[in-house]
Amino acid sequence: MTISNAKPYRIYTEREKIEVLIALRVNGGNMSRTERETGVSRATLREWSMSPLAQHPEVTRAADEKQRAFISSLESTRDSLVARMNDIAQNEKDLFKLSGAFKIVTEAISNAEMSMVLTEKLRAAMEAADEESGAGMN
């Protein structure tokens, strides 16, 4: 009799795979973070990210929507910080703390927007390459 510590093999539905791929894209391709959030191993994430399912329109659309919602919430936080900074401008100590928070939020917005731009450019380049390879076969 052999005792194994191996986890039982898990079969995922296409819907589950799409949800995990959305999380992976929202996490900027960070497999460690996505593994922690979803419980799906990095090896499986790597395999799925290379599959045609990773280019599924729903994955792209949902990830873009989540990124836009995240940027929107950061912008709202930034606007709240600016309003609060104006309210307490007389107290330099509090203003200094808020200005630090403002800088962090502003950098997060910039990074998130840059990530979206790079993702869109990469997607366009991949589509162009796919079209070229398809045209070369005709």
pLDDT tens readout for residues 87-105: 666 666 666 777 777 788 8
**Residues of the domain holding 36:** 13-55
Q: What is the mean pLDDT of residues 94-119?
A: 76
29 or 101, which is more confident? 29
Predicted local distance difference test score (pLDDT) of residue 118: 72
What secondary structure, in 3-state letters, does 29-73 show? CCHHHHHHHHCCCHHHHHHHHCCHHHHCHHHHHHHHHHHHHHHHH
Confidence of residue 10 (pLDDT cuts 50, 70, 90): confident
User: Both 130 and 74 in a single domain?
Assistant: yes
- Count structural domains, the chain: 2
User: Both 68 and 51 in a single domain?
Assistant: no
Residue 30 forms part of a structural domain: yes
Residue 36 forms part of a structural domain: yes
User: Both 38 and 88 in a single domain?
Assistant: no
Which of 42-46, 74-78, 118-122 reaches the highest mean pLDDT?
Answer: 42-46
Q: What burial letters (b/e) apply to 45-54, b meaning 16+ CB within 10 Å?
A: beebbeeeeb
Residue 5 forms part of a structural domain: no
Give the number of other CB atoms < 10 A from CB of residue 35: 19
Residue 136 forms part of a structural domain: yes
pLDDT at 134 over 70: no
Predicted local distance difference test score (pLDDT) of residue 47: 93
pTM for the complete prediction?
0.53
User: Both 71 and 138 in a single domain?
Assistant: yes
Q: For residues 28 and 22, what is the distance between their CA atoms, to the nearest angstrom?
A: 10
User: Both 105 and 128 in a single domain?
Assistant: yes
User: Both 45 and 69 in a single domain?
Assistant: no
pLDDT at 32 over 90: yes
User: Both 82 and 132 in a single domain?
Assistant: yes
- Tell me the average pLDDT of the chain: 80
User: Both 82 and 22 in a single domain?
Assistant: no
User: Both 94 and 128 in a single domain?
Assistant: yes
Predicted local distance difference test score (pLDDT) of residue 64: 84
